[in-house]
Amino acid sequence: MPRHAVETADMQAITAGFGLQWEKLGGKTVCITGAAGFLPSYMVESLLYLNETRQLGIRVLAMARSRAGFERRFAHHAGRPDLVCIEQDISRPFTLDEKPHYIIHAASQASPKYYSSDPVGTLSANTLGTAALLELARASGSEGFLYFSSSEVYGQPSRVPTAEDDYGVVDPTNVRACYAESKRMGENMCVSWHHQHGVPVKIVRPFHTYGPRMLLDDGRVYADFVACILRNEPIALKSDGLATRAFCYSADAVAGFWKVLLDGAPATAYNIGNPDGEISMRGLGQLLVGMYPEKGLTVSFVERKEGDVYMPSAVSRGCPDIARAAALGWQPRTSLADGFRRTIESYL
């Protein structure tokens, strides 16, 4: 099955619309961890699209925990010589025969449903995995290293919209902090390897990102909403729905990740998100049902079921200040309504 038309349009936008210096990657080997995941798979896809359209000869080492998951995700690329699957749990020791020119560490259990059910696995990829990959970059003389951090590092932010130095409180004795604290540690590992060994690290902090390929059953509220629209079911909120988040369409975010890797300053963190996409959960539910009036759907409120492992955030408002990324020449371009419409279309 070829790429979905929505994904093809996204690849065109990523590779042609943001002034990225793709020639830096020509003939290079790029290792991407978590390659079958939502956002890293789009990074893999964009490199393969560049090879198809610009013949850049990029070799992609796609590291995935499950080969079966990789093959499902990239079935439309079966047999391509420029895409190599490496089956590996990044939190366990490994060796790599090749020396990658660029490393993108995006493997992580980002869904809050894992913070309760598997906190050790959640923090391990962000710490043990990060250390192993930084050592690989050091030993390989890699030209670039991109670490996927998270807006969760801000905890309860001291200011909203939140800039890269507006840190708030994270309680390290709360098990939910397994994600935020390990992402923070991963960032410090990056700057420490840069300081001591000269590894050319860059850090991105994605805010809420949505789009084609996101798992609709991973427990995040906005994914639940999209699943409801696709199943013609009413949207059921498990809170008052007043918390706000800023949502960024995945193609815009992926272009931002590449921009930071190729043009960002070493040992520096960049927020990647869309401040114009800020909306309450209730408002997002109402927006989505309003986009499809023919379905006759509604937004309602329900109690969480007993035994629900989802661990909600205590942050009532999340919105990035993206001035630092904008100074590199990156800005998100996709409106909330257009992005969610494209997302829903991609599953049809």
**In this predicted model, what pLDDT tens digit does every residue of 223-236 receive, in sequence order?**
999 999 999 999 98
How does DSSP assign 277-309, residue by residue? GEEEHHHHHHHHHHH-GGG---EEE-PPPTT--
Structure tokens at 203: 């850090």
| CB-CB contact of 273 with 322 (8 Å) | yes
| CB-CB contact of 50 with 27 (8 Å) | no
CB atoms within 10 A of CB 248: 28
> pTM surpassing 0.75?
yes
- Cα(58)–Cα(247) distance, integer angstroms: 31
pLDDT digits (tens, 9 = 90+) for 302-332: 765 666 555 566 678 999 999 999 999 999 9
Nearest to 282 by CA among 230, 222, 334: 222
How does DSSP assign 168-188, residue by residue? -B--TTSTTHHHHHHHHHHHH
Domain boundaries, the chain: 5-214+248-275+319-335
- Cα(137)–Cα(326) distance, integer angstroms: 28
Directed axis angle between helix 221-231 and helix 336-346, to 10°?
A: 60
Q: At the topology level of CATH, where does 5-214+248-275+319-335 sit?
A: Rossmann fold (3.40.50)
Q: Which of 179, 222, 270, 310 is catalytic?
A: 179
Average pLDDT, the chain: 94
137, with CB counted inside 10 A (0-12, 13-18, 19+), is: buried
pLDDT digits (tens, 9 = 90+) for 44-56: 999 999 999 999 9
Asked if the peptide bond before residue 119 counts as cis, ω within 30 degrees of 0, the response is: no
CB atoms within 10 A of CB 324: 20
- Cα(265)–Cα(270) distance, integer angstroms: 9
pLDDT in 10s for each residue of the chain, 348 residues: 679 999 999 999 999 989 999 999 999 999 999 999 999 999 999 999 999 999 999 999 999 999 999 999 999 999 999 999 999 999 999 999 899 999 999 999 877 778 888 999 999 999 999 999 999 999 999 999 999 999 999 998 889 999 999 999 899 999 999 999 999 999 999 999 999 999 999 999 999 999 999 999 888 899 999 999 999 999 988 878 899 999 999 999 999 999 999 999 999 999 999 999 999 999 999 999 999 999 999 998 876 566 655 556 667 899 999 999 999 999 999 999 999 999 999 999
Residue 179 catalytic?
yes
Query: Measuring CA to CA, how many Å separate 103 from each of 29, 137, 180, 317?
Result: 9, 7, 22, 32
